[in-house]
Amino acid sequence: MERILVVDDDDAVRKYVSLALSSAGYKVLEAKSGPEAGSICESETRIIDLMLADVMMPKLGGRQLAQQALALQPNLKVLLMSGYPNVSGFLHVASRSEKEPAEFDFIPKPFTPAQLIQKVREMLAAPVEIEVVP
Protein backbone atom coordinates (compact mmCIF):
# COMPACT_ATOMS: atom_id res chain seq x y z
CA MET A 1 0.00 0.00 0.00
CA GLU A 2 1.48 3.30 -1.09
CA ARG A 3 1.98 5.99 1.54
CA ILE A 4 1.09 9.60 0.77
CA LEU A 5 1.85 12.65 2.88
CA VAL A 6 -0.78 15.39 2.50
CA VAL A 7 0.36 18.86 3.54
CA ASP A 8 -2.06 21.80 3.63
CA ASP A 9 -2.62 24.50 6.25
CA ASP A 10 -6.35 24.55 5.43
CA ASP A 11 -7.99 21.85 7.56
CA ALA A 12 -10.96 21.40 5.21
CA VAL A 13 -8.76 20.92 2.13
CA ARG A 14 -6.40 18.57 3.96
CA LYS A 15 -9.30 16.42 5.19
CA TYR A 16 -10.95 16.43 1.72
CA VAL A 17 -7.75 15.27 0.04
CA SER A 18 -6.98 12.72 2.75
CA LEU A 19 -10.46 11.22 2.57
CA ALA A 20 -10.30 10.95 -1.23
CA LEU A 21 -6.91 9.24 -1.10
CA SER A 22 -7.72 6.87 1.77
CA SER A 23 -10.99 5.92 0.04
CA ALA A 24 -8.89 4.92 -2.98
CA GLY A 25 -6.80 2.59 -0.81
CA TYR A 26 -3.77 4.74 -0.01
CA LYS A 27 -2.22 5.06 3.45
CA VAL A 28 -2.40 8.78 4.23
CA LEU A 29 -0.25 10.82 6.61
CA GLU A 30 -1.26 14.42 7.29
CA ALA A 31 0.62 17.58 8.18
CA LYS A 32 -0.86 21.04 8.66
CA SER A 33 2.37 22.93 7.96
CA GLY A 34 5.63 22.69 6.10
CA PRO A 35 7.71 22.31 9.28
CA GLU A 36 5.41 19.53 10.55
CA ALA A 37 5.73 17.72 7.21
CA GLY A 38 9.51 18.10 7.35
CA SER A 39 9.54 16.47 10.79
CA ILE A 40 7.43 13.59 9.47
CA CYS A 41 9.80 13.04 6.54
CA GLU A 42 12.76 13.08 8.91
CA SER A 43 11.29 10.75 11.53
CA GLU A 44 9.40 8.30 9.29
CA THR A 45 11.26 5.02 9.11
CA ARG A 46 9.06 3.73 6.29
CA ILE A 47 9.19 5.18 2.80
CA ILE A 48 6.73 7.90 1.83
CA ASP A 49 5.90 7.32 -1.83
CA LEU A 50 4.36 10.70 -2.65
CA MET A 51 3.96 14.08 -1.00
CA LEU A 52 1.02 16.26 -1.99
CA ALA A 53 1.63 19.79 -0.71
CA ASP A 54 0.01 23.20 -1.03
CA VAL A 55 2.28 25.73 -2.70
CA MET A 56 1.30 28.67 -0.49
CA MET A 57 1.68 27.98 3.24
CA PRO A 58 3.02 30.14 6.06
CA LYS A 59 6.63 29.57 7.17
CA LEU A 60 7.48 26.91 4.60
CA GLY A 61 5.69 26.66 1.25
CA GLY A 62 5.26 23.49 -0.77
CA ARG A 63 8.12 24.07 -3.19
CA GLN A 64 10.70 24.70 -0.45
CA LEU A 65 9.28 21.82 1.59
CA ALA A 66 9.60 19.51 -1.42
CA GLN A 67 13.27 20.41 -1.84
CA GLN A 68 13.95 19.67 1.85
CA ALA A 69 11.91 16.44 1.81
CA LEU A 70 13.76 15.16 -1.27
CA ALA A 71 17.04 15.58 0.60
CA LEU A 72 15.66 13.21 3.27
CA GLN A 73 13.77 10.84 0.97
CA PRO A 74 15.37 10.96 -2.50
CA ASN A 75 12.79 8.67 -4.17
CA LEU A 76 9.86 10.77 -2.99
CA LYS A 77 7.48 11.89 -5.72
CA VAL A 78 6.08 15.40 -5.28
CA LEU A 79 2.74 16.80 -6.38
CA LEU A 80 2.14 20.47 -5.64
CA MET A 81 -1.34 22.01 -5.54
CA SER A 82 -2.68 25.55 -5.41
CA GLY A 83 -5.89 27.46 -5.82
CA TYR A 84 -4.13 30.72 -6.63
CA PRO A 85 -4.38 31.78 -10.26
CA ASN A 86 -1.08 31.93 -12.15
CA VAL A 87 0.87 30.16 -9.40
CA SER A 88 2.40 27.95 -12.06
CA GLY A 89 4.10 31.07 -13.39
CA PHE A 90 6.73 30.88 -10.65
CA LEU A 91 6.91 27.10 -10.60
CA HIS A 92 8.53 25.06 -13.29
CA VAL A 93 5.62 22.64 -13.64
CA ALA A 94 4.77 19.81 -15.99
CA SER A 95 3.88 20.67 -19.54
CA ARG A 96 3.81 18.27 -22.47
CA SER A 97 5.28 20.93 -24.77
CA GLU A 98 8.40 21.53 -22.69
CA LYS A 99 11.61 19.77 -23.59
CA GLU A 100 13.02 20.25 -20.09
CA PRO A 101 11.51 18.03 -17.38
CA ALA A 102 9.36 19.72 -14.77
CA GLU A 103 10.75 20.54 -11.36
CA PHE A 104 7.56 19.22 -9.74
CA ASP A 105 4.18 17.98 -10.91
CA PHE A 106 1.22 20.28 -10.25
CA ILE A 107 -2.56 20.02 -9.88
CA PRO A 108 -4.69 23.18 -9.71
CA LYS A 109 -7.39 23.54 -7.05
CA PRO A 110 -10.26 22.94 -7.09
CA PHE A 111 -10.11 19.34 -8.28
CA THR A 112 -12.51 16.45 -7.96
CA PRO A 113 -11.55 13.29 -6.09
CA ALA A 114 -11.49 11.47 -9.45
CA GLN A 115 -9.05 14.02 -10.94
CA LEU A 116 -6.83 13.77 -7.87
CA ILE A 117 -6.80 9.96 -7.84
CA GLN A 118 -6.03 9.84 -11.57
CA LYS A 119 -3.07 12.22 -11.16
CA VAL A 120 -1.74 10.34 -8.12
CA ARG A 121 -2.03 6.97 -9.90
CA GLU A 122 -0.16 8.35 -12.92
CA MET A 123 2.62 9.67 -10.72
CA LEU A 124 2.98 6.50 -8.65
CA ALA A 125 3.06 4.35 -11.80
CA ALA A 126 5.86 6.42 -13.33
CA PRO A 127 9.39 5.19 -12.72
CA VAL A 128 11.56 7.12 -10.30
CA GLU A 129 14.11 9.20 -12.16
CA ILE A 130 17.56 8.70 -10.70
CA GLU A 131 20.27 11.16 -11.63
CA VAL A 132 23.51 9.38 -12.47
CA VAL A 133 26.66 11.36 -11.92
CA PRO A 134 29.64 10.12 -13.99
> What pLDDT was estimated at residue 82?
87
Domain CATH number, residue 28? 3.40.50.2300
Nearest to 56 by CA among 5, 21, 93, 91: 91
> What pLDDT was estimated at residue 97?
42
> What pLDDT was estimated at residue 105?
87
Give the largest CA-CA distance in the chain: 46
> What pLDDT was estimated at residue 83?
83
Q: For residue 31, tell me if it sits in a domain.
A: yes
Q: For residue 114, tell me if it sits in a domain.
A: yes
Q: What is the mean pLDDT, run by run of 10 residues, along the chain of 134 residues? A: 96 97 97 96 91 92 90 91 67 44 79 96 80 56
Which residue range is the domain that position 55 belongs to?
3-125
Q: For residue 19, tell me if it sits in a domain.
A: yes
The answer to whether 93 and 105 have CB atoms below 8 angstroms apart is yes
The number of distinct structural domains making up the chain is 1
